[in-house]
Amino acid sequence: MRLLLVLTIVIFATSCTTAPEADQQPELLPTLVPDISFRNLGPGNRQLELINSIVLDPAAGEEARIVQTTAQEKEAIAIVFQPASGDTTYIRMPDADGARAIAVIDEDVFIGTYLKGQVFHWRQGMETPRAFQLPRPNGERLEFVFSVDKASDGFYYIGTWPEGDLMRLDLESGTVTNLGPMTDDPPREYYLRHINTEFEGRLFLSFGTEVSFKEYNLETGETREFLPASMRDRSWVSHSTRFRNMIVALVDSPSTLVFIDADTGEFVREVESPGGRIWPHNFKSLLVHHEHIYFGTIEDDQLYRYSFDEDTFEIVGQLGHPIGLAEDDLLFARTRLGFYTIYDLSTDNIVLQRQSDFLGDGMLVHSIAEGPDASVVGGTYINQGLFQYRTADETMYAPGRAVEFPGQIDNLVTFNDKVYLGHYTKGRFSVWDPQEDWSPGSDQDSNPKTLGTVGNVQDRVPHGVVGPDNRIYFATKPEYGKLGGSLVVLDPETEEFTVHRNVVKDQSVYALVPDRSRYIYASTSVRGGLGARPAAAESKLFVWDTQSDQKVMERSIVEGAYEIWGLDWLAPDTLVGAADSVMFIYDVKGDAVIKTKICAPEEIKKVVTSRDGWIYAMTEERLLRVSTDLESVQTIDVHEGYWDSMVETSDGRLFVGRGPDLLELVRRD
């Protein structure tokens, strides 16, 4: 066997794009409001995030190819990639957003997408994959397809989110049947994360975020819970595999392999991963080879081998997570950042390694803020991509991933010409100095430099501001299945955190607005991590004293509102905000809500008071302009690609993220 290390980069864009000359500036795009136009400044980051992988043609041995899905937002892309040669083919699913699930059965490839919840069928030679629409007889959302596999009855089964519905596909007739939710009492967010078809006449269904692991009888449709009672306080069953006559469930977190007798349902053994969380996304995340189980860890990309008979773990190497086998003994593996290895299990030798980077048309702009020198800094979903639009010379700088762990940049705060980043997952933070060379990592001289996690089961970072005391305040939301967010205080001098959890009991902290003296005005949501059942009835506004480090006021704003996303100053003593779809005006001195109005059919995620005399608001589907008395509500644009990315810079320019693109609102006056 030979050892070959090669480098492949699939390039569709450079990391720094210069704006055209003055007479070649992007054409102004019309909106639904005559005096407002868009100027499209292009995508912030094009680096595709690889999700699910599987070996396409295992009989080809070293020459085998891999099919892998990507978290692309502008369109759904799957990549056929051959590590031996670097040859790459893109499979594009029309009218779909992002590809998640993947399965290969003989020569057939099945790809599940998200946001529109579809399944596509592709095989070599097809120009366009065949699309199957999922039935929604009860108005189900069915936004994500997380799992696809073929069962012993000849049908293909599909797992979805957020209802946890199970689908059955008859490929010959093209019929998809919705078998309904496979849960006893589904909460708001329910993932049918994985479907195991390795046993005759039945399926094993893995669920999160309210953890469950069920056997499904293909003949009767009856289900039976297989997860031991001791595990039912966890958040996920992420994956499963067959080992002998046992079903092995991957339960998180912490990542634990749970061995269960597949016939009796009796618990056999549980073993916790020695290297932290196990990568759960591949078709063969738990790969059985002879008498061993192989898996990869997320944080350090170590490939582990577990011996059931000896009950021992062994590190094979920093090779990433298993993708599948070719010719029985050749294990294909990949790290999170696209480093591929073919490893011969019969000789314990590396056959080939290749680094690859895949670029697409642009990842969803997830967050933006004002950066140094009135620039716009932002992060993209879900690849931790960082970008900076430099308004001084109209260039887009996109250096790549800001950190080495998975997730996305939730929020950015600029202080003293440095940019502080709040990251999903695990409520982690980093700091970037745009004046220094790009060298991400966790060492003291890294740039961006990872500062660490705030712990306290926190996960997402919805907002951040610089306080009147020159400390940085971040709002956080807890992990999947948990309640109780926090207010995080970061001292930029020491880079140390102080975490105030459950400032409002069992509620997440969402939006923050500082005053000019000593207080932070903050809003909450009754929602916790995905899948958690709310314990509170309505969201709150609270006031935090930065001198005493304690809450000094808490009150309801809009009766029954689940969450208050947006807050901004309307006048020196007046706040404007959004609670669900209701905008409100709050008199700070009088402690009174002086006006409310329903301004959108969806939840309003962001509110910005502009110096042009209007309020701008954003939902996931539309951009609004609202008068300061809330009487006039104008729809500027309707598009599925909005989130909560909007900022007006200190020089008065207003920017929004829409899909993968950064747009500037050009206002005629």
pLDDT digits (tens, 9 = 90+) for 374-391: 999 999 988 999 999 999
For residue 11, is pLDDT > 80?
Answer: no
Is residue 510 a contact partner of residue 525, using CB atoms and an 8 Å limit?
Answer: yes
- Angle at the Cα of 604 from the Cα atoms of 600 and 608, rounded to 5 degrees: 110
Average pLDDT over residues 516-526: 97
- Per-chain mean pLDDT for the chain: 93
| Confidence band for 63, pLDDT divided at 50, 70 and 90 | very high
For residue 466, is pLDDT > 50?
Answer: yes
- Residue 643's alpha-carbon distances to 15, 78, 620, in angstroms, are 24, 24, 5
Q: Determine what percent of the chain is predicted with pLDDT higher than 90.
A: 81
| Torsion sign over Cα 590, 592, 596, 602 | positive
Q: What is the pLDDT of residue 641?
A: 86
Query: pLDDT tens-digit profile of 559-594?
Result: 999 999 999 999 999 999 999 999 999 999 999 999
Q: What is the pLDDT of residue 21?
A: 42
Could you identify the residue written with the tokens 């958690």?
Answer: 532
Is residue 551 a contact partner of residue 589, using CB atoms and an 8 Å limit?
Answer: no
For residue 7, is pLDDT > 60?
Answer: no
What domains lie within the chain, and their CATH numbers? 134-272 (2.120.10.80), 273-357 (2.40.10.480)
- N-term to C-term CA, the chain: 70
| Confidence band for 24, pLDDT divided at 50, 70 and 90 | low
For residue 9, is pLDDT > 50?
Answer: no
| Confidence band for 2, pLDDT divided at 50, 70 and 90 | very low
| Confidence band for 162, pLDDT divided at 50, 70 and 90 | confident
Closest CA to 664 of 603, 623, 634: 623
Average pLDDT over residues 150-163: 95
Spatial distance between the Cα atoms of 666 and 34, rounded to a whole number of angstroms: 11
- Look at strands 349-358 and 4-10 and give their pairing: parallel
Give 229-274 as a DSSP string: GGGTTSSEEEEEEEETTEEEEEEETTTEEEEEETTT--EEEEEE-T
Spatial distance between the Cα atoms of 167 and 177, rounded to a whole number of angstroms: 6
Spatial distance between the Cα atoms of 451 and 431, rounded to a whole number of angstroms: 7
Query: pLDDT tens-digit profile of 534-546?
Result: 999 999 999 999 9
Q: Which residues pair with 497 in a beta bridge?
A: 490
Spatial distance between the Cα atoms of 90 and 127, rounded to a whole number of angstroms: 11
Is residue 606 a contact partner of residue 584, using CB atoms and an 8 Å limit?
Answer: no
Is residue 188 a contact partner of residue 169, using CB atoms and an 8 Å limit?
Answer: no
Q: Which helix (H) or strand (E) holds 183?
A: none
Q: Which helix (H) or strand (E) holds 453?
A: strand 449-453
| Confidence band for 1, pLDDT divided at 50, 70 and 90 | very low
Token digits of residue 250? 């991957």
Query: pLDDT tens-digit profile of 339-362?
Result: 999 999 999 999 999 999 898 888
Q: Determine what percent of the chain is predicted with pLDDT higher than 70.
A: 95
The amino acid at residue 55 is V
Pairwise pLDDT comparison (641 vs 370), residue with the higher score? 370
Q: What is the pLDDT of residue 16?
A: 54
